[in-house]
Amino acid sequence: MTDFGTRLDHMRATAPLVHNITNFVAMNFMANVLLAAGASPAMVHAREEVAEFAGLAHALTVNIGTLDPAWAEAMNLAAQVMQSSGRPWVLDPVGVGATRFRQDVCGELMDRAPTVIRGNASEILALAGIAATGRGADAADSVAAAEDAARDLAQRTGAVVAVSGPEDFVTDGAQAYRVGNGHPLMPRVTVLGCSLNGVIAAFAVGAPALPATVAAMAYYGQAGEQAAARAHGPGSFQPAFLDALYTITGAELDAGAKVRAA
Amino acid sequence: MTDFGTRLDHMRATAPLVHNITNFVAMNFMANVLLAAGASPAMVHAREEVAEFAGLAHALTVNIGTLDPAWAEAMNLAAQVMQSSGRPWVLDPVGVGATRFRQDVCGELMDRAPTVIRGNASEILALAGIAATGRGADAADSVAAAEDAARDLAQRTGAVVAVSGPEDFVTDGAQAYRVGNGHPLMPRVTVLGCSLNGVIAAFAVGAPALPATVAAMAYYGQAGEQAAARAHGPGSFQPAFLDALYTITGAELDAGAKVRAA
Amino acid sequence: MTDFGTRLDHMRATAPLVHNITNFVAMNFMANVLLAAGASPAMVHAREEVAEFAGLAHALTVNIGTLDPAWAEAMNLAAQVMQSSGRPWVLDPVGVGATRFRQDVCGELMDRAPTVIRGNASEILALAGIAATGRGADAADSVAAAEDAARDLAQRTGAVVAVSGPEDFVTDGAQAYRVGNGHPLMPRVTVLGCSLNGVIAAFAVGAPALPATVAAMAYYGQAGEQAAARAHGPGSFQPAFLDALYTITGAELDAGAKVRAA
C-alpha cells in the first residue's frame, strides 16, 4: 500500500458529507476533526428525520458512547439507509463489554452490515464474543490479543475491522496491515478514537474499505506525531492536532506513513 | 453606523444572562464565546423548567442543529416567553432545507416573532420558501443569491435577518448593511455561526435589533481576523479567537469595523 | 494538612474509573480534565445501563446543569448504587436556585447521601434552604455569605461541602479549610467547576472526603495559576490548564498549595 496521499487529496477534493450519530463527549471535537481534514460533518439523530438525512449523506458513523434507546433506534434507521444504498458506514462499539444493553444494541447494528468496525482491543474482543476485561473506553487488553478476534469478526460480518492501539491492526479477514503512526499522548486526549471514525468514513466514500481505513489511520496518527512534537501536554496537543490535520499534504502523508503488512 | 464600541462596552457592563437552547455540538464553545465576550450564558431545555428559566433571562437563542421533538417543544415554550415579554430572541435555522421535520419546526418558531434570524445563504433561502441546494450546515448558495430572500423574510416576519458569509448581509427589510469582517479559516471551525447567535442576543438586550446585530457581527468577525493572524490552522484559531473576543476594546472595534450600507 | 502531593500521586497510580452524569456543556472538557489529571472518565446515563455501569466505577459525579426528568432518574439510580456500596459520589447543584424543578431533583439526590457537595456560594445557599440571589451558574453571593450555610448543610447531610470562589471554603460541618489557589480568569472559562467535580471524586476513592476534597481543589487551583501565567485570555488558558494538570508533580503541589484552617 502506497497511495495514501492520493486518497487524502481525493477526500479533500470531494469534501464528503459525513453524517455522525455519536456520543455527546465527541460531537464538537469530531466536527472540528472532519472540518480540519477537509470533509463536511453533520450531527442528526431524531427518528423524525434521521433516515431522510442519512439519504443525503455520503457516509455515516455510529458511536454508542452515550447511548440510550432513542439514539439506538436512530442508529438503526440510519444504518439501514446506508446498507440498502451501498454507502459506507463505520461502527464504534464504545465500552461494549461493560453492559448488557450495549451488547444488545451492537448485536442489532452488526446486522446492518457495517463497512468498518473500529474499536480498542477490549471492544473488539467483546464484540467477537470473547471475554474481555474492558472498562469504560479504555483498552485493558493488548492489540496483539485481539488480532484473532478481529480476523474472526471481519470474516463473520464482512466488515473491515480496525483495532486501535500503539500499533493499529486493520484486517478484512483475509489481508491485514499494521499502522505504526501515533503518539503516547493520544490516549490522554478524549474522543480521539471517536473522531477518527469520521475520517475513516470520509476516506471510504467511493473507495475500497481496507486501503481507505489504513490510509485514514496513517494520516490521523501522523497528525498526532506532528502535534506531539509541538505540544507541552494533552491540552496544547489538541489545537496542534487539528492544525496538523489541516496542513498535512498528500506527499507528507506518503513520506511519513508507517504501514506494513501483517 | 459608527457606535459599535459603545454597544460592546454597554454589553460588557451589563453582562446579560443569555439562555441558549442550542445543539450538542455548539454548547461548550458557545458558552466560552459568551463568557469571553463578557455575557453570562446558561443552557436549559427541559419542559419542566424551560419557561421558568426563560423568565429569568435577558435574551434567548434557539438553534435547531441537533433537533428532536422534545427540544422543539422547549424552543417553542421559551420563545413564547420572550415574545410575550418583549425580550429579544435569535433563531438559527440550521440545515432547515435538509428535512421536512426542520421545516415544520421552523414554521412554528417563526410564529413566535424572532427578533433576529441568522443563517447561511442556503438556510435563509430555504426559510424564505425558495428552493435552495443546502446540505448540512454548509452554505452552497452565495450571500448575494440570498439577499432578496433575506429582505422578503424580514418584511414577512418583522425580524432582522442576517446572512453569514464572506461578507455578511443584514437587513430589517427596509435598511440593509454589509459586514466585511471575518476570515476564510472561520468556516473550518465548527459552531462559529451557532456561537455568534449568543453574541447577537447579548448585544440586542435593550437595544434596537438592526444596529445590535451589525455591531455583534463586526466584533465577531474582527476577533476572527485577529485570531487568524496568530493561528497556524483551525486548531490554534480557536483559543486565539476566544482570547480576541476577551481583549478587543470598544475603540479597537470602531477602528476595525468594516461595515457599509447595502 | 500537608499530604496533598501523596494524594495526587496515589490517584495517578490507581487511575480510578470515574462515572459522570453531567451536563452537555461540560462533557468533553471534563473528560479531558480527568484524562490529563490521570484518572479514567466515562459518561453513561441511560436507565437501561446506568446502575450496571455505576457498579463498575470507583466513583460517581452528578451535575444537574442540563437537566431533564430522564437524566434525573439516571442520577438517582447511579447515586443509589454508590450509596449502597459505600463508594464516593459528588453532587453539583448547578443553578439550583433558579427553578422549582432543580430544587425537587436536588432534594431527592440529597437523600442518596452524597459524599461531597460542591457549588458556588449561591448554589450552596439555595441548597441550604436560605434565599439566594443566584442566576444561571454565576455566583452572585460571596463565599463568606455561604459559610454558615455550608456548615449547616454538611451537618444535615453528612457530606463534605465545598464552596467554590476566589478563596474556596471546604467543611465537613466540624472542621473547615480555605483553599486560596486559583486565578480570576477561571470564571471566564465554562465548566471549570463542573470538571473539578471529577477530580474531587478521583481523589476521594479510598480516601477520607475532607482532605481529598481540599487536595483536589488545591491541585486544580494551582493548575489554574500555572495556566494563567502562560495565557493571553480565556481561550489560551484552556490548553495550558490541561497541560498543567498533566505536568504538576506531587512535590510541586505541596510547595504551591495555599491551604489554611478556617
Cβ proximity of A31 and A41 under 8 Å: yes
∠ Cα B41 B44 B49 (to 5°): 135
**B71: chain C residues, CB-CB within 8 Å:** none
pLDDT tens across C158-217, in order?
999 999 999 999 999 999 999 999 999 999 999 999 999 999 999 999 999 999 999 999
Cell of C234: 480565556
DSSP strand pairing (B176-179 vs B168-171): antiparallel
pLDDT tens across B98-154, in order?
999 999 999 999 999 999 999 999 999 999 985 444 454 556 788 888 999 999 999
Spell out the residues 6+ positions from residue A208 whose beta carbon is closer than 8 angstroms to its own. none
- The pLDDT, as a whole number, for residue B131 is 43
Cβ proximity of B204 and B212 under 8 Å: yes
pLDDT tens across C100-155, in order?
999 999 999 999 999 999 999 999 999 998 544 445 455 678 888 899 999 999 99
**DSSP 8-state symbol, B183:** -
B43 is in an annotated binding site: yes
Percent of chain A with pLDDT over 70: 96
* Buried b or exposed e, range C96-106, using 16+ CB within 10 angstroms: bbbbebbeebb
Cβ proximity of C28 and C62 under 8 Å: no
- The pLDDT, as a whole number, for residue A139 is 61
**A32: chain B residues, CB-CB within 8 Å:** 189-190, 234-235, 238
pLDDT tens across A121-168, in order?
999 999 998 544 445 455 678 888 899 999 999 999 999 999 999 999
Residue ranges in chain B whose pLDDT is less than 50: 131-134, 136
- The pLDDT, as a whole number, for residue C140 is 72
Subunit contact C233:B241, Cβ cutoff 8 A: no
Spell out the residues 6+ positions from residue B206 whose beta carbon is closer than 8 angstroms to its own. B14
Residue C40 reports pLDDT greater than 60 = yes
**Single-letter residue type at A120:** N
Subunit contact C242:A232, Cβ cutoff 8 A: no
∠ Cα C88 C157 C179 (to 5°): 70
Chain B contact for A129 (CB, 8 A cutoff): no
Pick from C17, C52, C56: which is nearest to A100 by CB? C52
Spell out the residues 6+ positions from residue B7 whose beta carbon is closer than 8 angstroms to its own. B203, B207, B211, B212, B215, B216
CA B106 to chain centre: 15
Give the nearest chain A residue to C18 (CA atoms). Answer: A136
Cβ proximity of A64 and A75 under 8 Å: yes
- The pLDDT, as a whole number, for residue B134 is 47
Q: Helix, strand or coil for residue A47?
A: coil
C-alpha–C-alpha distance, residues A133 and A138, integer Å: 10
Spell out the residues 6+ positions from residue A24 whose beta carbon is closer than 8 angstroms to its own. A65, A66, B24, C24, C27, C43
Cell of C205: 476513592
Of B172, B183, B188, nearest to B222 by C-alpha is B183
Of C2, C3, C8, nearest to C216 by C-alpha is C8
**DSSP 8-state symbol, A144:** G
Subunit contact A234:C36, Cβ cutoff 8 A: yes
Give the nearest chain C residue to B41 (CA atoms). Answer: C136
C-alpha–C-alpha distance, residues C195 and C191, integer Å: 6
Percent of chain A with pLDDT over 90: 93
Q: pLDDT class for A261, splitting at 50, 70, 90?
A: very high
- The pLDDT, as a whole number, for residue C131 is 43
Chain C contact for B44 (CB, 8 A cutoff): yes
- The pLDDT, as a whole number, for residue C15 is 97
Spell out the residues 6+ positions from residue A177 whose beta carbon is closer than 8 angstroms to its own. A1, A169, A170, A171, A210, A214, A259, A260, A261, A262
- The pLDDT, as a whole number, for residue C134 is 47
Q: What is the CA radius of gyration of chain B?
A: 16
C-alpha–C-alpha distance, residues C160 and C151, integer Å: 9
- The minimum CA-CA distance between B95 and chain A, rounded to whole Å, is 9
C-alpha–C-alpha distance, residues C233 and C219, integer Å: 21
Spell out the residues 6+ positions from residue C78 whose beta carbon is closer than 8 angstroms to its own. C19, C21, C50, C51, C53, C54, C60, C62, C89
Give the Å distances, CA to CA, from C154 to A165, C114, C144, C203, C255.
45, 10, 16, 19, 29
Domains of chain A: 4-261 (3.40.1190.20)
C-alpha–C-alpha distance, residues A110 and C125, integer Å: 51
H-helix or E-strand spanning residue C181? none
pLDDT tens across A59-108, in order?
999 999 999 999 999 999 999 999 999 999 999 999 999 999 999 999 99
* Buried b or exposed e, range C137-151, using 16+ CB within 10 angstroms: bbbebebebbbebbb
**C53: chain A residues, CB-CB within 8 Å:** 98-99
∠ Cα B236 B180 B123 (to 5°): 85
H-helix or E-strand spanning residue B88? none
**C236: chain B residues, CB-CB within 8 Å:** 239-240, 242-243
**A27: chain C residues, CB-CB within 8 Å:** 28
Give the nearest chain A residue to B138 (CA atoms). Answer: A40
Cell of B57: 433571562
DSSP notation for B109-172 = HHTT--SEEEEEHHHHHHHTT------TT---S-TGGGHHHHHHHHHHH--EEEEESSSEEEE-
C-alpha–C-alpha distance, residues A256 and A251, integer Å: 9
Chain A contact for C78 (CB, 8 A cutoff): no
- The pLDDT, as a whole number, for residue B140 is 72
**Single-letter residue type at B194:** C
